[in-house]
A and B are shown apart, each in its own frame.
Chain A
Amino acid sequence: MTLIGILIVIVGFALRFNPLLVVVLAGIVTGLAGHLSMEKILTIFGEAFIKNRYLPLFLLTLPVIGLLERNGLKEQALTLISKIKAATTGRLLILYLFIREVAASIGLTALGGHAQLVRPMIAPMAEAAAENKYGPLPEDTRNKIKAFSASADNVGLFFGEDIFIAFGAILLMKGFFEQNGIILEPLQIAVWGIPTAIAAFIIHSVRLYLLDRTIQKEVEQAVGVNRSGKECNTHAN
């Protein structure tokens, strides 16, 4: 019965109801199914909501990012990237993935982030690199490049930070095993994360490398459609 909350989340997300509402509903139903009183449920809601206020702290970056955007941050990113002839979307994002993962692996998880770097700089540069090479981008292609920019940040962060010994996840694992009578050194756990960290970099890099070809193909297709469209017009004339 307590699993009904999971069901509500899956169905609610699938039917595209507002996620906030789905989550609140799932929470209340789960609490009731677990025989918690309404006061207790509200209190858990309130406590957890207050305790996790650090999650939206990235909002504090928006005043300066918005100000810089108004003063041409994205346009400047475009100018800068157009000067680097070797830059392609794929190569740029592979470089960012590498920097993000290495920085996270030595504990510098703050070096990056969606609000801090991806929106103001990485995504505009990745778009500009493609535009310089192939000309104007179809909307779908542009969105794909943005999504891949965000993905490079996530993959780099996740699979880098876990091989840093002082990271929360490592300490969580150590603590869990300690409770169960197994003593582990943080370094032992961190070291065995390295093979996966390397695999993550290789897999995502290959996909980013292939992204360049996808972009080229999509732009050519779009241009082709436009041309044939124009030809049709001339015939009609």
Chain B
Amino acid sequence: MLISLNYIYIILGALLAVVALLSFLDKGNPKRFLTGSFWGLYAITFLFGNNINPMYMGVVAIAMAVIAGCGGVRMGKHEEAPVKVRTEKARRLGNWLFMPALLIPVITVIGTIGMKDLTIGGLQLLEKANITLVSLGVACVLALVAGMGLTKDKVFQPLKESRRLFDAIGWAAVLPQMLATLGALFAAAGVGDVVSNLVSAAIPVDSKFMVVLAYGVGMALFTMIMGNAFAAFPVMTAGIGLPLVVKMHGGDPAILAAIGMFSGYCGTLMTPMAANFNIVPAALLDLPDKNGVIKAQAPTALLLLCVNIFLMYFLVF
């Protein structure tokens, strides 16, 4: 294999290391050592993640959370190009400016679909098991090269700009990963079984509508808690869907599964626990309210959940 996911992790680790270094050197940041340490520790998880004992990695992850929790991750000082300069440059480069940005999705798609089986000298070019992620990584590097060629900025410029954006996102960048670890701990401690026992004990099982309602709402609620419909699906379907809707009332499992998973997605739209979809974008877009994206989505999610429950009731039996 020529390009594996691990190489992509190392590139991101190197980028994080540079961001950490720039943060250490930034005298305009009152907490520059803590901010630098935060990004530095994060860099370590990408550079040496496979070589360090998982227990110590756990300590690193917790240390990052403690730094962030004490307000140690702060915005540094950045000089942005003034609007006048940017408008002038935009006039010169025109719509070519979109080209590198659009290259990222385009190359990712080409890599994912077109290069799955591409080999060079008998070696697989892109790691097959993680083809989308590897393609994304390659796409980002190629897009950067294209962007550098187009703008003819100094080599150091993209790194400085990266730190500006990393600072804007801050600790939210790590939240999706941290929530995934919480999911793993919930699973190891058996939280799912406890929840599904509670729910199935609380509903009147004779009514077809009530079991469908309990399954749909249960999927949405448990997804909101776990931040991930994939985690909620086996728990809720084993607890309510399969025994009550399918076995007791004779529902169709394919319809149950399809609409049940979508009910879970309605929950995903409404929870800060789904950080990479809801909290990270709020940070990326500089929204003052970190729940702004959730507020925009909640009415759609609630309406759609109602639609789902009625769809399931009429289609599944």
Partner of B257, one of A80, A151, A189: A189
CB-based contact A200/B300 at 8 Å: yes
Contacts of A180 in B (CB 8 A): 238, 242
CB-based contact B253/A184 at 8 Å: yes
Q: In the complex, what distance in Å separates the CA atom of A153 from the CA atom of B36? A: 32
Q: In the complex, what distance in Å separates the CA atom of A6 from the CA atom of B54? A: 25
Partner of A9, one of B12, B225, B230: B225
Q: In the complex, what distance in Å separates the CA atom of A116 from the CA atom of B303? A: 29
Q: In the complex, what distance in Å separates the CA atom of A64 from the CA atom of B49? A: 25
In the complex with contacts A60-B137, A117-B105, A50-B50 CB distance below 8 A: yes
In the complex with contacts A151-B293, A196-B307, A49-B45 CB distance below 8 A: yes
Q: In the complex, what distance in Å separates the CA atom of A191 from the CA atom of B87? A: 48
Interface size counted on chain B using CB atoms at 8 A: 145
In the complex with contacts A111-B109, A118-B281, A118-B285, A73-B98 CB distance below 8 A: yes
Main SS class of interface, A: helix
Shortest distance between the CB of B136 and any CB in chain A (Å): 6
Q: In the complex, what distance in Å separates the CA atom of A70 from the CA atom of B303? A: 40
Q: In the complex, what distance in Å separates the CA atom of A40 from the CA atom of B184? A: 12
Partner of B53, one of A17, A46, A117: A46
* A-binding segment of B26-34, B118-126, B155-163, B201-209: B155-163
CB-based contact B153/A71 at 8 Å: yes
Main SS class of interface, B: helix
Q: B89 within 8 Å of A by Cβ?
A: yes
Interface string of A13-48 (1 = CB under 8 A from B): 100011111011011001101101001111111111
CB-based contact A64/B144 at 8 Å: yes
Contacts of A185 in B (CB 8 A): 254
Query: Which partner residue on chain A sits nearest B11 by CB separation?
Result: A60
In the complex with contacts A31-B188, A60-B137, A172-B230 CB distance below 8 A: yes
* B-binding segment of A130-138, A154-162, A219-227: A154-162
Shortest distance between the CB of B274 and any CB in chain A (Å): 9
Q: In the complex, what distance in Å separates the CA atom of A9 from the CA atom of B91? A: 49
Contacts of A44 in B (CB 8 A): 58, 181, 184-185, 188
Interface string of B74-113 (1 = CB under 8 A from A): 0000001101001111110111011011001100110011
Interface string of A146-190 (1 = CB under 8 A from B): 111111011100110010000011001100110010101100111
CB-based contact B140/A67 at 8 Å: no
CB-based contact A63/B182 at 8 Å: no
Contacts of A176 in B (CB 8 A): 233-234, 237-238, 257
Interface size counted on chain A using CB atoms at 8 A: 115
In the complex with contacts A52-B180, A151-B297, A59-B173 CB distance below 8 A: yes
Query: Which partner residue on chain A sits nearest B224 by CB separation?
Result: A10
Q: B313 within 8 Å of A by Cβ?
A: no
Contacts of A87 in B (CB 8 A): none
Contacts of B189 in A (CB 8 A): 2, 5, 30-31, 33-34, 36
Q: In the complex, what distance in Å separates the CA atom of A84 from the CA atom of B155? A: 35
Contacts of A20 in B (CB 8 A): 64-65, 68-69, 171, 174-175, 178
Q: Which of B154-201 contact A (CB under 8 A)?
A: 157-162, 164-166, 169, 171, 173-186, 188-191, 194-195
CB-based contact A27/B161 at 8 Å: no
CB-based contact A54/B147 at 8 Å: no
Interface string of A61-75 (1 = CB under 8 A from B): 111111111111111
Query: Which partner residue on chain A sits nearest B292 by CB separation?
Result: A147
CB-based contact B136/A72 at 8 Å: no
In the complex with contacts A3-B195, A119-B284, A151-B54 CB distance below 8 A: no
Q: B279 within 8 Å of A by Cβ?
A: yes
A-B interface, 4 closest residue pairs, ranked by CB to CB distance from nearest: A66-B161, A34-B189, A72-B90, A46-B57
Q: Return 6 A-B CB contacts under 8 Å, by A number.
A: A34-B191, A49-B45, A71-B151, A107-B113, A159-B265, A169-B233
Interface residues of A (CB under 8 A from B): 2-3, 5-6, 9, 13, 17-21, 23-24, 26-27, 30-31, 33-34, 36, 39-77, 79-80, 107-121, 123, 143-144, 146-151, 153-155, 158-159, 162, 168-169, 172-173, 176-177, 180, 182, 184-185, 188-193, 195-197, 199-200, 203-204, 207
